Amino acid sequence: MMRYRVAGMLLAITGTVLGPYTLAQDFAPAQIRKGADIYAQNCSPCHGARMQDPNSAFDLRTFPPGEKNRFVTSVVKGRNSMPPWGDLLQPDDVEALWAYVRAGER
């Protein structure tokens, strides 16, 4: 009986903690590919090819999964030395970039 209570508590905690996190499998493969193409064209010069440059402007592989709004704001409005992309990218482009960053490079 105690085992079931512990398992139930773990499930509740996991759901609470991971609730806002988007998993890579939550994105359509076509959306991830679109994000990869946009990234390669616009983001890779500063953030590294395929997010693999350890000396990049910001290692997007470490971007917190629960901070999508921060990501969108940074892309659209710019941040620090990153220029704003809001005039060049459509909202679905930014969503595709988010999908690519969350899915990670395979």
- Domain extent at residue 28: 23-103
Q: Round to whole Å and give the CA distance between 55 and 48.
A: 8
β-sheet bridge partners, residue 79 = 82
pLDDT digits (tens, 9 = 90+) for 36-64: 999 999 999 999 988 887 777 888 989 99
Tell me what pLDDT residue 96 has. Answer: 98
Q: Round to whole Å and give the CA distance between 18 and 24.
A: 13
Report the domain count for the chain.
Answer: 1
Q: What CATH number did the domain enclosing 32 receive?
A: 1.10.760.10
Tell me what pLDDT residue 82 has. Answer: 92
**Structural domain includes residue 2:** no
Share of the chain above pLDDT 70, in %: 75
Higher-scoring residue by pLDDT: 4, 81: 81
The model's pTM:
0.74
The arithmetic mean of pLDDT across residues 75-86, rounded, is 95
Residue with tokens 């773990």: 10
Q: Round to whole Å and give the CA distance between 20 and 65.
A: 8
Higher-scoring residue by pLDDT: 101, 56: 101
Tell me what pLDDT residue 16 has. Answer: 40
